[in-house]
Structure 1
């Protein structure tokens, strides 16, 4: 009976560890996004995190109906990258991101209602920066 209880607890523990790892720590998607960086700030009451918004060309349909601008909401955990992005507001940037299935509060905000796809996007490096020549600067 003790072996059965031990193995049952072990299986449940491994299942919980697997769920937490694959949902919160395993990178689900990795890639790049390009657009004009028009908002970058520090947010949070308990966990201060760097949050930014990149305006991408085009429009997209809203989840509740209608149309939205094509915005990419993201978080930054690396202070060096955050300091660099602060200087890039209003410029055309190409950033590399990692997407996690679920969010952790100390890693940044959960922007599921703002982004096209659910998940937490964390920018880990800037791949290129150039002056913006788009109509976005005419706001």
Structure 2
């Protein structure tokens, strides 16, 4: 009898060890996914255009949002013409105040692009982090 209880306890220890490693691996994969989806910078660059608006809005999280109207025309549907627009979120209030007081001017804005949106970061995946130039 002593041998069978010893084998059962060894088997139970192996199962607990396996489950521990499995949940740790699952946690690491989940953390990696969250980082990749919401914090990994997918791309960055500069967009230029005329500032259409800069607003502070939100129900629970107040975020800064804006829109640039870019020169040229694009078409989502065949046979229709519309202007190119770049909708973005603004990283901090100092950039927002500059944009807010200079609506209608031409801006070159540096942005970072993420795979996913976070409610406290803004309504878009494009986050403007600095103003390169204003004309």
SS at match of 2:120: helix
Question: Which consecutive aligned stretches of 4+ in structure 1 deviate over 6 angstroms post-superposition?
Answer: none
Q: 1:135 — aligned with what?
A: none
Write out per-residue CA displacement over residues 63-90 of structure 1, whole angstroms, 9 at most, x where no aligned residue: 7984432000000121111111112211
Structure 1 spans left out of the alignment, 5+ residues = 111-119, 131-139
Segment drifting more, 121-130 vs 84-93: 84-93
Structure 1 or 2, whichever has the larger Rg, is: 2
Is the aligned partner of 1:23 residue 2:37? Answer: yes
Instruction: Give the one of 51, 61, 75 matched to 2:65.
Output: 51
Segment drifting more, 19-28 vs 56-65: 56-65
Structure 1 vs Structure 2 CA RMSD: 1.6
SS at match of 2:103: coil
Is the aligned partner of 1:12 residue 2:26? Answer: yes
C-alpha separation between the residues in 1 aligned to 2:82 and 2:72?
9
TM-score with structure 2 setting the length: 0.84
C-alpha separation between the residues in 1 aligned to 2:50 and 2:63?
21
Residues matched between the structures, number: 121
SS at match of 1:105: coil
Q: 2:97 — aligned with what?
A: 83
SS at match of 1:107: coil
Instruction: Give the one of 29, 50, 60 matched to 1:36.
Output: 50
Structure 2 spans left out of the alignment, 5+ residues = 1-14
> Hey, which of these two has a bigger chunk of helix by percent?
2
Q: 1:113 — aligned with what?
A: none
